[in-house]
Structures are given as C-alpha cells and as structure tokens.
Chain A
C-alpha cells in the first residue's frame, strides 16, 4: 500500500466547510500545547483567551469594535484576491482614509452640519481609493507588481501620517503631543448603545457584507474578474479585460480600507495620532483567507480573529503574557488554514504497489 495524491475533480461542499473548521481546531490544539510549553495552565489560559473577554457587555462591545474594521477591509481585499490582485497595502489605504476623513472633520467650516459625517465617509472612501489607485495605475500601465507597490506605499502612508501629526496638523493646544485636535461631536459616530465604545459604523460593515455577498453571487462583473484570476488565458479568450480586474480589485480594497480608517478616527480614536491601527490592514489579509474569500466566511473569520486580538490583550493583562502571542496565533491559524486547503483540492488514496 502506498499513498497516492490526486487532484479532486470537484471539491465537495462538506470538505470546503470542514477544512477551515479543522484548521481552527488545530490552532486551538496548537495553542494548548504552546501555553503548556510556556508553563501556563493551558485550560485556564484558553479560558482567559476565548471565554472571559465575552463574558461582559463591555467585552462584547470591544469584540465587535475590533471585528468591524477587519471584516470591512477583508471584504474589499477578497474581491481583489479572487481576481488574483494581491493588495497587501490595506494598512496604508486605511491611513489615507483616516487622513482624508480627518481633513473634513477638522477643516469643514460648519462644525455642526449633519452632512459632516456622510462627507467624512465619502472622503475616507476616496482617500483609500486614491492610495490604491497608484498601484492600479502602475500595474495597468507599467506592469508593475502590485504586492511591492502597495506595501511600499504603506510605509510612505505611515510617514505621511507621522509628518501631519508632528507638523502642520498638530493640535496647538495639545501639550506638544503628536496628535490632531479632537474631532467635533457631529463628526463622530454615535455609540450603538449606552456607555460602550462600539458605534453605528458597524452598520456600514453589515451593509458591506450584504453588498459583497450579492455582488459575488449574482453579478456578471464579479464572475468575469474571478475567471480572470482563476484562468487568465480563458478570460483573455473570452474577451474579459485584465484592466477591469486590476482596477476593480484594487479600488474595492482601497475603498473599504479607507472607510475602515475613517470609522476608526470617527469612532474610538476621535483624533489622528501616529499609531491609528494595530495592523488591521495586514490582519484583514488573514481574515479574507479564513473566510475563503466569501462574504459570510469573512464575517465569521473577522469575529474569530477579533476574539484573538482582545483575548491577547486580556491574557497580557491578567497573565502577563507578551502581546506577540496574538500574532503567533494569527499566523498559526493562517498556516493550518492553508494546509487544510490541500484537503479541499487534493485527496489521498491508498493504492497497492
């Protein structure tokens, strides 16, 4: 008997659902062993990691607050990934969205206008799209690799933000801290309920989940760019233009990341500072893959990864564990998930010989 690996002709639905679930279980097993190796009681650590944060209303608020931008950005990135457009600079697009939205919030003459918040959403979206338009243009016209350009522009965006908050936009009454003035109340999202931090911007994310689901399931445009990603030669033969994929793939990611950045300043932050995102733009890449580039999957994946974030914060405080543990978890989850993909596309058969 020897194992033979062969490609499945059509992946079954059962294995498509089972593979990510198996990856999640493997991650939990891995973390169990990891905590044990570090000398922590694995059961109580996992409890502190995954259960404790959700046992209070405030915990649930924080959970949703972090899940919202992750889901939103991942939805946009997934459209690109389906088209084989690798936008890994969502972090930079998020920053530009936040900067553009803040410029409206700070400098729009009527500080109490009801149009302030909608204008900021629009500005955030356009800011993110403008930043993503650079790699799209360069890929379209000059055949430049979008992975490297989007990433390099993320470093540039971070520096731009740093320049603004240290220089021209620094709050003159801010005791020299590198941050802008606080946004006026009309430029902020209202809290979803009572004293908790989670705010109305989650409706944008829910709306985006619906729109993306509908778009990928029913639109011909989405079908065309997916064909372009999966089988470029077939797409070319069918006359689908590559430039559509490039522009749509990058613009979707830029728009969503820009709105996510806007929602951060108009939500929990209230102002710009040098560090406005704990790496949402990068983590959203993992979320997109965990969700198998599917809107509902991304919703669940975002909720899970967000739990890793706040669980990581919780064990950092309660058990004094390093925050880098969270990133190891995210990486491990992605690793198991990609490995599990193998089971979706291949099967192992034992044959004589």
Chain B
C-alpha cells in the first residue's frame, strides 16, 4: 500500500511541470502559433526561481518572478515569429537555444546547491483521512494550482467570447483580421501566456520537484510537453491524462528496480523518451482525428496586409 501511495503521489508530482507547460502551449497553438521554445522558457523559469530564492526572496515571489521571466523569454520568439513573420520552427529553435544559454548564465554559481523545497500544505481534517488523505490532500500548492489552471483554461477556451476569438484566430487569421480582430496582438498575448506557464513549470522543477538548479535540468520535458499537445489532439482534458501517463513513466523509472525489473538504469531512463515516440506514432497514424482538431493555421506565418 505504501508503495502504491508513493507511486501515485509521485506520478501526480512528476506530471505537474508537464501540465503547466503543455496547457500553456495548448493555448498558444489554439491561436495558430507553434512555439518550439518551451524547453528554453522552462529553463529560464527554473533558473530565475532559484536565483530569486538565493537572493533572499520568499517562495511566492520567486515563483511569480520565474513565471514573468518565462513570459519575457517568449518575447524572443514572438518578435521573430509574429512581428517579423519568420519561420516559426526556426524562431522556436532560436528560443530553445538562447533560453538554455541564458538560464545557464543566470544559474552559474547555484549549480547543485540544495534548496528547502516548497513545503506541502496539509489541508486540515481531510488530509488526516487514511489513504485518501495522503493520496489527494498532501501536495504543495502548485500541484493544486495546476488543476485550477486546467479548469480556468477549459472555461476560457470553450465558455468565453475571448476564448472563441483565440480559437477563431487559430482557425483563420485572415477572416479574423477581416472582421477587425488584431491577430498579431492576440497571438502576442497567447504566446506570452504560454511563456508564463512554461516559466511556472520550470520553477516547479527547480524549487519543488528536484529541488535544485542543474544546467539543462529540464532534460527534454519542454519537448515532451510539446508532444503532449499533439497526443492530446489539442484538447485540455487529454493533456492531463497524457501528463499522468508520462508522470507514471518517470516514476516507473525511479521505482523500476524496486519493483523487480533488473534492467540497466539507462534502459529505465530511456522509457519516457521511447514512450513519447510510441504515443506520437499511435496518435499520428490517424490523420482524420488530427485534422479534425488541428488549429488550421498552426505554424503558418501571418502578416496583415495594409
């Protein structure tokens, strides 16, 4: 039972940074923009959070600054892809590379220094319930925030006019422009929101999950988040399911040996990456489903004429 609880809670925690980053990217992609730079923005968030922490700021301030830093980092991409209408793949790669460099620069000197991680909040009374308590009510606040963000994003995208506008821009920027929406401005806002979420996911890694700063500590989580959006076929609920799946893979890798799988550590470490490929293959085979949910203008540069 204890092992089950450990695996369950471990999965939820490992899924949290992916949920933040992938939900953010979902909103970006819904507006027709493909930002490949999530890995860079997560790293910037992770480094800034640690930097603020060692500069003596409180946890909430460190997290908030990291979130803003992710948003600012996304501007590197936004200027290229939106203002200058360059190839979005290239602009995203530039952000991924630049973000890794900037984060390494910010984080130099803090490498490997341990942090008193974010403490979990124990909700009174219900967290005392046996089994149920430890399973659901003893996480740190950011875990709960990730599900709150999930609810907010579902509501925003499918229940508000602004969400409808975002989706319209993603389907047909030309028509949106013609009826008077500022496509570029809306895309700037979604891109910066995506950056903030990636920064938050990165901060979660460095001050709650690990908790310490190591260069390139995201180890592909930004890219896995991108894969999750495809896996989820651009639907928020499936992002949560996908993130749990990948969280479980990560935890399996940690507990694999305890569970009696006598495999080399490298094989266990490769599981999340191989799983990403397998999942992409399964989803991508069905072109009809992809076509149905795919934002029609995704990754196509848009330049309003006149």
Task: List the interface of chain A (C-beta within 8 A of B).
Answer: 4-7, 86, 88, 138, 142-145, 147-149, 151-153, 155-156, 159-160, 162-163, 166-167, 282, 285-286, 289, 322-332, 334-335, 338-339, 341-342, 345-346
Q: Check B97 against A334 for contact (C-beta < 8 Å).
A: yes
Find A149's partner among B80, B84, B280, B285 (CB 8 Å cutoff).
Answer: B280
Complex Cα distance, B36 from A285, in Å, reads: 14
Complex Cα distance, B36 from A338, in Å, reads: 15
- Interface residue count for B (Cβ, 8 Å)? 47
Q: Give me the 8 closest cross-chain CB pairs, A-B, nearest first.
A: A331-B98, A327-B101, A324-B104, A342-B84, A163-B266, A324-B105, A328-B101, A159-B266
**Measured between C-beta atoms, what is the minimum distance from A209 to chain B in Å?**
22
Find A159's partner among B76, B108, B223, B270 (CB 8 Å cutoff).
Answer: B270
Q: Check A327 against B277 for contact (C-beta < 8 Å).
A: no
- Does B89 make an interface contact (CB < 8 A)? yes
CB-nearest residue of chain B relative to A164?
B266
Find A339's partner among B80, B93, B219 (CB 8 Å cutoff).
Answer: B80
- Give B259-297 as 1s and 0s: 1 = Cβ < 8 Å from A's Cβ atoms: 000001011011001101100110011010010000000
Q: Check A346 against B303 for contact (C-beta < 8 Å).
A: yes
Find B98's partner among A142, A148, A335, A346 (CB 8 Å cutoff).
Answer: A335
Q: Check B94 against A145 for contact (C-beta < 8 Å).
A: no
- Does B172 make an interface contact (CB < 8 A)? no
- Does B306 make an interface contact (CB < 8 A)? yes
- Does B141 make an interface contact (CB < 8 A)? no
- Does B102 make an interface contact (CB < 8 A)? yes
- Does B169 make an interface contact (CB < 8 A)? no
Q: Check B270 against A156 for contact (C-beta < 8 Å).
A: yes
CB-nearest residue of chain B relative to A343?
B84
Contacts of A328 in B (CB 8 A): 98, 101-102, 105
Q: Check B281 against A144 for contact (C-beta < 8 Å).
A: yes
Complex Cα distance, B94 from A88, in Å, reads: 12
Contacts of A156 in B (CB 8 A): 270, 273-274
Complex Cα distance, B92 from A331, in Å, reads: 11
Q: Check A152 against B284 for contact (C-beta < 8 Å).
A: no
Q: Check B93 against A322 for contact (C-beta < 8 Å).
A: no
CB-nearest residue of chain A relative to B86?
A338
**Measured between C-beta atoms, what is the minimum distance from B86 to chain A in Å?**
5
Given contacts A147-B36, A342-B86, are A334 and B94 in contact (CB under 8 A)? yes
Beyond A329-B101, A330-B97, 17 additional contacts (C-beta under 8 Å) are: A7-B303, A138-B284, A142-B285, A148-B223, A148-B277, A151-B220, A160-B270, A285-B97, A324-B215, A326-B101, A327-B101, A328-B105, A331-B101, A335-B94, A338-B91, A339-B79, A342-B86
- Does B226 make an interface contact (CB < 8 A)? yes
Contacts of B91 in A (CB 8 A): 338
Given contacts A282-B97, A324-B101, are A142 and B284 in contact (CB under 8 A)? yes
Contacts of A166 in B (CB 8 A): 266
Q: Give the residue among B36, B86, B101 with the most A Cβ atoms within 10 A.
A: B101
Q: List 16 A-B contacts (CB under 8 A).
A: A86-B89, A144-B280, A148-B230, A148-B277, A152-B227, A163-B267, A282-B97, A324-B105, A325-B105, A326-B101, A327-B101, A327-B104, A331-B98, A334-B93, A335-B94, A346-B85
Contacts of A4 in B (CB 8 A): 306
- Does B157 make an interface contact (CB < 8 A)? no
Given contacts A5-B303, A335-B80, are A160 and B266 in contact (CB under 8 A)? yes
CB-nearest residue of chain B relative to A329?
B101
Q: Give the residue among B84, B97, B280, B306 with the most A Cβ atoms within 10 A.
A: B97
Q: Check A341 against B284 for contact (C-beta < 8 Å).
A: no
Q: Check A338 against B80 for contact (C-beta < 8 Å).
A: yes
Q: Check B93 against A88 for contact (C-beta < 8 Å).
A: yes
- Does B233 make an interface contact (CB < 8 A)? no
- Does B154 make an interface contact (CB < 8 A)? no
Complex Cα distance, B277 from A345, in Å, reads: 36
Contacts of B276 in A (CB 8 A): 148, 152
